[in-house]
Amino acid sequence: MFGMLLLLAAAAYLLWTLLLSLAAGIDWRAFAAPDASESERHHPFKHRD
């Protein structure tokens, strides 16, 4: 019984944070698959000869 309540609370928390992040305008695809220009901007000396 307590495990079910804990699981339900965890699912509600994850759903709530997801809704808040969507309302804040966070694009999760930018974190999942950054493009080449984004990675080069974070690591400017990565492709240096």
What is the rounded distance in angstroms from the CA atom of residue 41 to the CA atom of residue 18? 27
pLDDT for res 30? 62
pLDDT at 43: 60
Q: What sections of the chain are H helices per DSSP? A: 2-24, 28-32, 36-42
Q: Report which secondary-structure segment, H or E, holds 44.
A: none
pLDDT at 25: 72
The single-letter code of the amino acid at 1 is M
Q: Which pLDDT score is estimated for 41?
A: 57
Question: What are the residue ranges in the chain where pLDDT is below 70?
Answer: 26-49
Does the predicted model carry a pTM greater than 0.85? Answer: no
